[in-house]
Structure 1
Amino acid sequence: MKKFAILSAVAVAALANPALAAPGDSDTELGAATAEVVAPITLTHTTGATLDFGTFTTGDNGGTVVVTRAGNGSATGDVTLVQGSVEASDQFTVAGDPGRRFSITTGAGQVSNGAATPVTMDFTTDARANETLDTAGDAAFSVGGTLTVIGGEPAGVYTGSYSVTVTYN
């Protein structure tokens, strides 16, 4: 009787365990897959736009010229904006996938007077960190900045550039 009870328990356990099922038992099911391709993001610099720090005197001790993203200019330290100076923020447009968010990264730059031995001034830039494309897939943004003036830079026109990168979030 004891042997019969043990054999019965082994038989029940074997039938209840699918790992011990007969060879060749299998099942197949299809999985689902999806993919979404978005429109490429493109950045365009607005024709004629420039981050313009205006016209100013440097003084002996220097200072800064600040241009906001709205294009308003101000000077600090020994730097003075001259009457009639026109400051401006830089302008860009973006096209891409409607309603999608993107980040904006701007780099620092330098302006130079282009002389044989150039004199330079460094600047930092200021742009919103993130924007959203509208329902047509368009957006626009401005870049302001802060120009550092050491003091005593020679008169002349100074030009330069900086980098701007947009990336989908």
Structure 2
Amino acid sequence: MHSFGFYKTSFWLLLFIFSVVQISAQENPPIPIEVEVRTSRNLNFGSFTAGTSGGNVSVSWDGLRTSTGDIVELSAGQPVSAALFDVYANPGTIIQIQDFGETVLTNGNGGAIYLTLNSFSTGQRTFVTQTPNAQMPNEIFVGGTLRIPSDNSGNLPGTYFGTFTLNFIHQ
């Protein structure tokens, strides 16, 4: 019996040792979220003429141009293209694209037309980055619509330039 008591005491001692050992792990620090956006190609609506009743010219995110109203698309002149932004971020980063509404573009002669960004290759303004690492760009194509007002003053013709601002907000 004496040897049975030794095993019993040893069992309780081992049980006590295992119950006192505390296992702890520290969570890895969060991966720093850095987002870099580079413009690779500008949004270009190409060449067109507008009649006196105006209309709209749109370029979709995939570079297709359409028009409505009193607009005639011309094949000569500037090439049509959606804007292209290269977004560098860690895989799985959630990014929201924010714009600031309608942008006024001018021609220097007093003419004004209006730009709205409304077509994104991501399908919506919020997306998750898909590239396998932060050194590879996530290509985001952006299209928009020009609203050409009806104008009889003669200052509408010309070449229009302007800028728009997009914020790429990471979460």
Matched, 1:101 2:94: yes
1:145-160 mapped onto 2 (5 Å cutoff): 145-152=144-151, 153-160=155-162
3-state SS in 2 of match to 1:45: strand
Matched, 1:136 2:128: no
Q: 1:120 to 1:33 in 2, by over 3 A?
A: farther
RMSD of the alignment, in Å?
A: 2.3
**1:92 corresponding residue in structure 2:** 85
Does the 8 A contact of 1:113 with 1:157 survive in 2?
yes
- Of Structure 1 and Structure 2, which has the larger fraction of its residues in strand? 2
The percentage of aligned residue pairs carrying the same residue is 24
Q: Which moved more, 1:121-130 or 1:82-91?
A: 82-91
Query: Deviation of residue 140 (structure 1)?
Result: 1.0
Q: Which has the larger radius of gyration?
A: 1
Runs of 4 or more above 6 Å deviation: none
Query: Deviation of residue 114 (structure 1)?
Result: 1.9
Query: Deviation of residue 144 (structure 1)?
Result: 0.2
**1:60-109 Cα deviation digits (max 9, x unpaired):** 10000010000110110111112335321011001121232322223332
Q: Which moved more, 1:99-108 or 1:66-75?
A: 99-108
Structure 2 unaligned spans of 5+: 1-21
**1:65 corresponding residue in structure 2:** 57
Does the 8 A contact of 2:89 with 2:129 survive in 1?
no
Q: 1:167 to 1:33 in 2, by over 3 A?
A: farther
The TM-score, its normalising length taken from structure 1, stands at 0.71
The TM-score, its normalising length taken from structure 2, stands at 0.70
Q: Which moved more, 1:137-146 or 1:104-113?
A: 104-113
**1:42 corresponding residue in structure 2:** 36
Does the 8 A contact of 2:115 with 2:145 survive in 1?
yes
Matched, 1:83 2:84: no
Does the 8 A contact of 1:96 with 1:133 survive in 2?
no
**1:55 corresponding residue in structure 2:** 47
1:11-26 mapped onto 2 (5 Å cutoff): none
Structure 1 unaligned spans of 5+: 1-28
Instruction: Tell me the amino acid that sits aligned with residue 136 of structure 1.
Output: N
Instruction: Tell me the amino acid that sits aligned with residue 134 of structure 1.
Output: T
Matched, 1:121 2:120: no
Query: Deviation of residue 146 (structure 1)?
Result: 0.5
Size of the aligned set, in residue pairs, is 137
Does the 8 A contact of 1:95 with 1:133 survive in 2?
no
